Amino acid sequence: MGLAYGLAAPMIGSGAASLELKGATRQLAAGLRKARGEAITRRQEAVLTLDVGQRRFAVSGDGRVHALPERIEVALVTARSEQLDNQVGNIRFFPDGTSTGGRITLSLGETRQALEVDWLTGKVSVTP
């Protein structure tokens, strides 16, 4: 019984970490898609602002700030014009659906998930 528990505990722990990472990825993908949808429907630019140091993001026009789990590391690659400082940057969406593009990488231990925003179409995709 002890051997079974000893083998199962690490698997359960890594499974919980994986779920935490996937949940954060889905939350961020939803924010990016919301920003794109807002830009198209309102016919004005919309921005997702990501603070990698504080692990939080916000979508323009929405007063909420969304926090990501503390254990997750966040990295952002975006257009130079959208880098507000070394910790904060934007991904901007335009009324025609296009964007400035970018890549957000979330990692927890050895596991990584990346969100890609295509500049030409504004499409948000998740890659393992």
From the number of C-beta atoms within 10 Å of its C-beta (0-12, 13-18, 19+), residue 81 rates as: exposed
**Stretch 47-55: mean pLDDT, rounded?**
98
**Stretch 17-41: mean pLDDT, rounded?**
96
Least confident of 12-16, 18-22, 45-49: 12-16
Instruction: Note the pLDDT of residue 14.
Output: 55
- Count CA atoms closer than 13 A to 75's CA, side-chain side: 8
**Stretch 20-26: mean pLDDT, rounded?**
97
Residue 11 has pLDDT above 50, yes or no: no
Read off the CATH number of the domain in which 117 is found.
Answer: 3.55.40.10
CB 79 within 8 A of CB 101: yes
Instruction: Note the pLDDT of residue 5.
Output: 47
Domains in the chain, number: 1
**Stretch 52-57: mean pLDDT, rounded?**
97
Q: Comparing C-alpha atoms, which of 105, 106, 99, 56 is closest to residue 79? A: 99
Range of the domain at 16: 2-127
**What is the reported pTM?**
0.86
Collapsed DSSP state (helix, strand, coil) of residue 61: coil
Q: What band does 67 get if pLDDT is binned at 50, 70 and 90?
A: very high
Instruction: Note the pLDDT of residue 128.
Output: 82
